[in-house]
Amino acid sequence: MPALGLNSTLGTTDWGAFILERLRTESALLKAGARYIAITGKSMVVPRLLDDGSASWVDELQEIPSDAPDADTITLTPKKLGNVVTLSNESIADAPVSELDLVGNSLARSVAVAIDARVFSTAVETAIAPPGLLTSMTAAVGPVSFDSIISAIGSIEAIGGTASVVFAHPNDVTSLRLIKDTGGRPLLQPDLRAAGAESISGARVISTPSLPIGTVVICDPKQIILAVRKSVEVSFSAHSRFTADAVVARVTARATWALNDARGVVKLEAA
């Protein structure tokens, strides 16, 4: 079977699936293991438990008391984002599949970058875009250092979470890489469980330029929900560029996000 590419899938169905898969690999948020929800309708209501309730020790034949967990719901309404690229008909006809796949990668990356940039921001919700999540995260103040990050990891573990990811701007990751112990060995060590990854106290470090320099997000990634409509579409049209002998490729996606338990997502900012 040939590899997916523009000249082998000049349509919508296969390329839609291709873009969905690329979102998982290009987005820092999804790469970290955020909770991904595929939505088929215009919106989805997700139940959320706010606590676990309390079990009680009871004697045999004694009535067991009820202490149900508190719960509420999150309504996820994806909003639209998109991108277009113009390709010559000659390039579609003549270029190898591997080269044309770069166009698909670029389209997917633009969607993923837009999602990450909005999530890791303080932007307010508008009629056309979801809000940034930085203002909703648990806040901590301290330098971008091993001690501050480990303290944030401990605060998440203290409430029963698993802080397995540290998001940081590439400049901050570089600064952490330059910190050495008394023997001159870098403190930021490779994670032997994941090739090419680095970790701090068991939490994988993921570099993303979407975060401001000096702001680090330490989290249990399952506490971040990313919802994407299944109808991610790539469409092609030669009509608008007929006189240029070209085809326009358009990718559109609909996405939104929310925090499940904000205590499991800590934003560390320098004072």
Instruction: Express each pLDDT in 129-162 by its tens digit.
Output: 999 999 999 999 999 999 999 999 999 999 889 9
Of residues 136, 198, 139, the one with CA closest to residue 168: 198
Of residues 55, 80, 58, the one with CA closest to residue 66: 55
> CB neighbours (10 Å) of residue 267?
24
More confident residue, 259 or 54: 259
Would you say 140 and 151 are in contact if contact means Cβ atoms under 8 Å apart? yes
Would you say 208 and 19 are in contact if contact means Cβ atoms under 8 Å apart? no
pTM > 0.75: yes
**Average of per-residue pLDDT across 112-139:** 93
Of residues 147, 165, 149, the one with CA closest to residue 224: 165
**For residue 10, what pLDDT is reported?**
46
Instruction: Express each pLDDT in 167-204 by its tens digit.
Output: 999 999 999 999 888 888 888 877 655 566 788 998 99
CA 256 – CA 2 distance, rounded (Å): 33
In this structure, of 158-162, 257-261, 267-271, the range with the lowest mean pLDDT score is 267-271
Flag whether pLDDT at 119 surpasses 90.
Answer: yes
Domain boundaries, the chain: 13-47+74-269
More confident residue, 109 or 227: 227
**Average of per-residue pLDDT across 232-246:** 68
CA 94 – CA 7 distance, rounded (Å): 9
**Average of per-residue pLDDT across 20-30:** 78
Instruction: Express each pLDDT in 73-103 by its tens digit.
Output: 888 999 999 888 777 766 555 555 555 566 6
Residue at token pair 């929900």: 225
Q: How wide is the angle at C-alpha 217 spanned by C-alphas 215 and 219, nearest 5°?
A: 170
Q: Which CATH superfamily is domain 13-47+74-269 in?
A: phage-related protein like domain (3.90.1690.10)
pLDDT band, residue 11 (cuts 50/70/90):
very low
pLDDT band, residue 3 (cuts 50/70/90):
very low
In this structure, of 10-14, 78-82, 119-123, the range with the lowest mean pLDDT score is 10-14
